Structure 1
Amino acid sequence: MDDFNFEYENKKKRKMRKEPLYIILCIICLVVGGFGGYFLRGSEKKETNSKESIYDQIAQIIANDFVDTTDTQLTLQERLLGGMVAGLGDPYSSYMNQQQSQSLETQINGTFQGIGITYTTIDGNGALVLDVYQNTPAAQAGLLAGDMITHVEGTSIADYTSEKIKNVIQGENGTNVSLRILRDGKPKDIIAKRASVDTSVAYQIRQSNETKIGYLRITTFGEGIAILIEDALKDFQKAKVENIVIDLRGNGGGYLQAAQNILDLFIDDGKVLFRTESKQGKEEVYKATNREKYTFEHGYILVNGESASASEVVTSALKEVLKYQVVGETTYGKGIAQSQKILSDSSILKYTNAKWLTSQGEWINGVGIKPDYEVHTMSMSDFKVKKVEKTYRYDDVDESIEYMQVMLKELGFDVDRQDGYFSKKTETALKAFEKAYQLKTDGQYDKNDALILLNALTYHIYQKVEDKCYQKVEELVK
């Protein structure tokens, strides 16, 4: 079997609809031959050896004459190789040096040194916690999704990059890191003890009336994940759980082998799990083995638009073969797989080399998997946020005012419009918010108001709003 894998798309993990305020992913681009502005030294021309390939000619010219004025830690060769692969126009193919490939592997496997959170940076404010994983130092310290980290070890991280925030939070196992957070508009100090954490799997046995529900959350498909999932399934069986919920929301993918191993825990020997099709059109069929199986009376899968690749492989097979019901939103629709080749200098070329098809032969690329029960779960991606650079008052008009009105409305404040016009009623609603959160009650929307409003909204979404997808499952199991 080819060494297929699915790129773990970190950019899709709980991403926000973003204005320039949000920096989730740093992208390094090499632009050659642009029209920006140029300077030619006269009309000097140099002949090249016509027997050399164009690649060799360009490489020789760059090696001899190019003056590198960029400020980057990547070598010129790494940038050129990355640019060559980027020229394929395939967002899933890339050239990675050793450090980049190790970082990707860490993301896919979901294991790292730290405290166990997912966050996104908020320019000028800090890091917004989007997820706190079960049984991690962050969870034990009481950190919650929706918290805003503003200081680490007493130092403001307002203008830190995402990478710099990661570096200051991570550290040697067993050491403490002190965090200052904003929670629902109020400051709080937290100390977390760093450790080796695994964020790939979490599970619980939940009760809904008289019915037991085994809840299994999978955040990525890394190596060895099937072993962790089998441990959960054994606990479910011991507790005589008849209903299982597999939560794949926000799961951007991982290794195809991991998806195959997970499906083999559920699906009977000889049944088709999925198929792959190579560049030459050769189809390979993957089937379940005769290993021990774990069966449940009813199965449900929670998905959203960020459920991609391996998540869709698992979803499609459980839906088509075992008739598990899918709840949520149409999945991303990534029906291709990648392979990795280690090059002579230990760098890696990751490239698309196959299509994958469902057990019934369907190609979901660009289409996704439509849920049996369509349910939208609110997240920060439903809201636009723009960095507030000035103070807004009555009678002003701006898109930042529109975003403020939408957030105030969601928090239950009486706003008469959501079109960016700062009306009297908007001023009254803002004053009510300022009073509730012990801010200066002047009805003027400034940078501090914007920070507290955003923090109040994130706390509301992640801690107060009910999970409608899971509620739908509870309705179905009654």
Structure 2
Amino acid sequence: MDDFNFEFENKKKKKIKKEPLFILICIICFVVGGIGGYFIHGTKETNTNLEGTVFDQIGEIVDNDFVDTADSQYSMNERLLMGMVAGLQDPYSAYMNQQQSLDLETSINGSFQGIGVTYTAVEEKGALLLNVYQNTPAAKAGLLAGDIITHIEGTSIADYTSEKIKNAIQGENGSNVFLKILRDGKSKEISVKRGSVETSVASELRTTVSQKIGYLSITTFGEGTSIMIEDALKTFQKENVKNLVIDLRDNGGGYLQAAQDILDLFIKKDEILFRTQSKQGKEEVYKATDREKYNFENGYILVNHDSASASEVVTSALQEVLGYKVIGETTYGKGVVQTQKTLSDGSILKYTHAKWLTSKGEWINEIGIKPDYEIDTTTIHDFGLAKMEKTYHYDEVDSNIKYMQEILKELGYDVDRQDGYFSKKTENALKTFENAYQLKDDGQYDKNDSLILLSALAYHVYQKLDDKCYQKVIELMK
């Protein structure tokens, strides 16, 4: 259903205010005259020997005459096909070769060989871990969200692409990968034993204010997700759990069938789960079956701006039909459904083929689902980080200085301004930070300061801040 890539690098989560930590843009354009113009060799000519459609004619010209100078991992034909689908200007449609299709399927199902993390590649720094999944090799080795991997097998990955980082981490099942990380500005070496990883569902029985809470974290909607969720629900039921929390934050979606199967675990027979509407306007209504149901006195759903697609299908139905309380931020707003077809060479065309509507017939595309309780939380995406081109000093002005000031302020340092002007108070705040982290306390903002500052921020955000959304659940239960 969804254009969702999650296994090692979470590409969707780059909506970082100001400058993104990492941007991977693949643009394929057919340009007539561009910013730099174009060269014409000789005179224009009309070839009257070409037959077929304009598509065929362009293909023949490119095949016969075009000199390919691109240094690309994809063949020219693959790039042409990617460009053709990109011309639809639909962010959810794509041409994928066989390997890309397999990678997408693996990421949606959340089951693979590896260590069990998602990360973002940070230019000049390494891989910032956004999540370390429960019961995975990474978790068992002691990795934490907020850690920055700086070296793999003794080699710096400061300038590695996301794909190169993934290839360096992956390896033979049962073998070890040696990582050097930064945690709160301090260096640490960790060995992780590679193995089978399941990341789509994590469950936990929690107790607070004398009540039991069944906590479910769902990161993707894959083929086996509903089975794992039902296993957890059975455990909660045996423990007489009255309160259920479903955490869908940062869940970008997955298969529509998986969302339907999950909703069918909760909603009684013949109630409408959601609807779809085809290109021709034909509406299809999806209803709950008579299978066994799991009921809870109180239900809560945690969402954020990156909860999308299948996450929104589940959230809307549980909110509209069962009255579950939605807590967090307005969701992404993806109200369309994709399907895919296998082409003659084994490659895949994934394309938008329908709209989906909530059980009440609402289309949330580019609108999202508004939470019952809106919670403003601090995340790593609220902070900017641009490439460090130089060392910055007192009395200079730059966006990097502004980002530094904002991070220092978040970490509790005494900063008088956050506008990018390197004031004396900014210099003193930086010196205090440098001294606290055993850096050269000269008050000059350099690349190493930037790396340690990011490490301190990541640790602060992922390990020290309270989960405000979950705290709201506790408050509502009192």
Tell me what 1:430 maps to. 430
Q: Residue 192 of structure 1 aligns to which amino acid in structure 2?
A: V
Task: Please list the CA deviations of residues 71-125 of structure 1 after superposition, one character each: whole Å capped at 9, or x if unmatched.
Answer: 1121111111111111111111111110111111111111111100011111111
User: What is the Cα deviation at residue 395 of structure 1?
Assistant: 1.3
SS at match of 1:276: strand
Q: CA RMSD in A?
A: 1.4
More moved, 382-391 vs 127-136: 382-391
Tell me what 1:33 maps to. 32
Q: Is the 8 A contact 2:5 2:107 kept in 1?
A: no
Are 2:476 and 1:476 equivalent residues in the alignment? Answer: yes
Tell me what 1:214 maps to. 214
Q: Is the 8 A contact 1:12 1:250 kept in 2?
A: no
Tell me what 1:75 maps to. 75
Q: Is the 8 A contact 1:180 1:188 kept in 2?
A: yes
Q: Residue 197 of structure 1 aligns to which amino acid in structure 2?
A: V
Tell me what 1:173 maps to. 173
Q: Residue 27 of structure 1 aligns to which amino acid in structure 2?
A: C
Tell me what 2:143 maps to. 143
Tell me what 2:204 maps to. 204
Task: Evaluate the alpha carbon distance shift between residue 25 and residue 400 of structure 1 in structure 2; reply closer, same or farther with a 3 A threshold.
Answer: same
Aligned residue runs from structure 1 range 285-304, under 5 A: 285-304=285-304
Tell me what 1:312 maps to. 312
Tell me what 1:123 maps to. 123
d(CA) in 2 for partners of 1:67 and 1:52? Answer: 23
User: What is the Cα deviation at residue 24 of structure 1?
Assistant: 4.7
Q: Residue 75 of structure 1 aligns to which amino acid in structure 2?
A: S
Report how many residues are paired.
Answer: 474
User: What is the Cα deviation at residue 62 of structure 1?
Assistant: 1.1
Tell me what 1:7 maps to. 3
Q: Is the 8 A contact 1:272 1:287 kept in 2?
A: yes
Q: Is the 8 A contact 1:218 1:251 kept in 2?
A: yes
d(CA) in 2 for partners of 1:18 and 1:42? Answer: 49
d(CA) in 1 for partners of 2:75 and 2:110? Answer: 28
d(CA) in 2 for partners of 1:127 and 1:8? Answer: 19
d(CA) in 1 for partners of 2:469 and 2:20? Answer: 29
Gaps of 5+ in 2: none
d(CA) in 1 for partners of 2:256 and 2:41? Answer: 53
Q: Residue 8 of structure 1 aligns to which amino acid in structure 2?
A: F
Task: Please list the CA deviations of residues 255-308 of structure 1 after superposition, one character each: whole Å capped at 9, or x if unmatched.
Answer: 000000000000001111000000111110000011111100000000011000
Q: Residue 467 of structure 2 aligns to which amino acid in structure 1?
A: D
Tell me what 2:274 maps to. 274
Task: Evaluate the alpha carbon distance shift between residue 48 and residue 208 of structure 1 in structure 2; reply closer, same or farther with a 3 A threshold.
Answer: farther
Tell me what 1:17 maps to. 16
Q: Is the 8 A contact 1:14 1:130 kept in 2?
A: no
User: What is the Cα deviation at residue 22 of structure 1?
Assistant: 2.8
SS at match of 2:92: coil
Aligned residue runs from structure 1 range 6-405, under 5 A: 6-8=2-4, 10=6, 13-17=12-16, 22-35=21-34, 36-49=36-49, 52-405=52-405
User: What is the Cα deviation at residue 64 of structure 1?
Assistant: 1.0
SS at match of 2:461: helix
d(CA) in 2 for partners of 1:254 and 1:420? Answer: 41
SS at match of 1:230: helix
d(CA) in 2 for partners of 1:187 and 1:358? Answer: 48
Tell me what 1:449 maps to. 449
Q: Is the 8 A contact 2:14 2:20 kept in 1?
A: no
Q: Residue 80 of structure 2 aligns to which amino acid in structure 1?
A: L
User: What is the Cα deviation at residue 442 of structure 1?
Assistant: 1.1
d(CA) in 1 for partners of 2:281 and 2:11? Answer: 30
SS at match of 2:227: helix
Task: Evaluate the alpha carbon distance shift between residue 365 and residue 121 of structure 1 in structure 2; reply closer, same or farther with a 3 A threshold.
Answer: same
d(CA) in 1 for partners of 2:196 and 2:117? Answer: 12
More moved, 422-431 vs 12-21: 12-21
Task: Please list the CA deviations of residues 405-431 of structure 1 after superposition, one character each: whole Å capped at 9, or x if unmatched.
Answer: 110010001111111111111111111
Q: Is the 8 A contact 2:51 2:57 kept in 1?
A: no
Q: Residue 6 of structure 1 aligns to which amino acid in structure 2?
A: D
Task: Please list the CA deviations of residues 164-195 of structure 1 after superposition, one character each: whole Å capped at 9, or x if unmatched.
Answer: 11001111110001100000000000011000
d(CA) in 1 for partners of 2:53 and 2:424? Answer: 70
Tell me what 2:411 maps to. 411
More moved, 77-86 vs 298-307: 77-86
Q: Residue 244 of structure 2 aligns to which amino acid in structure 1?
A: I
SS at match of 1:57: helix
Q: Residue 348 of structure 2 aligns to which amino acid in structure 1?
A: I
Task: Please list the CA deviations of residues 299-348 of structure 1 after superposition, one character each: whole Å capped at 9, or x if unmatched.
Answer: 00000110000000000000000000000000011100011001111111
SS at match of 1:22: coil
Gaps of 5+ in 1: none
d(CA) in 2 for partners of 1:269 and 1:345? Answer: 43
Task: Please list the CA deviations of residues 172-223 of structure 1 after superposition, one character each: whole Å capped at 9, or x if unmatched.
Answer: 1100011000000000000110001011110111111201111100001111
User: What is the Cα deviation at residue 393 of structure 1?
Assistant: 1.5
Q: Residue 369 of structure 1 aligns to which amino acid in structure 2?
A: I
Q: Residue 286 of structure 1 aligns to which amino acid in structure 2?
A: Y
Q: Is the 8 A contact 1:30 1:80 kept in 2?
A: no
User: What is the Cα deviation at residue 48 of structure 1?
Assistant: 2.8
Q: Residue 28 of structure 2 aligns to which amino acid in structure 1?
A: C
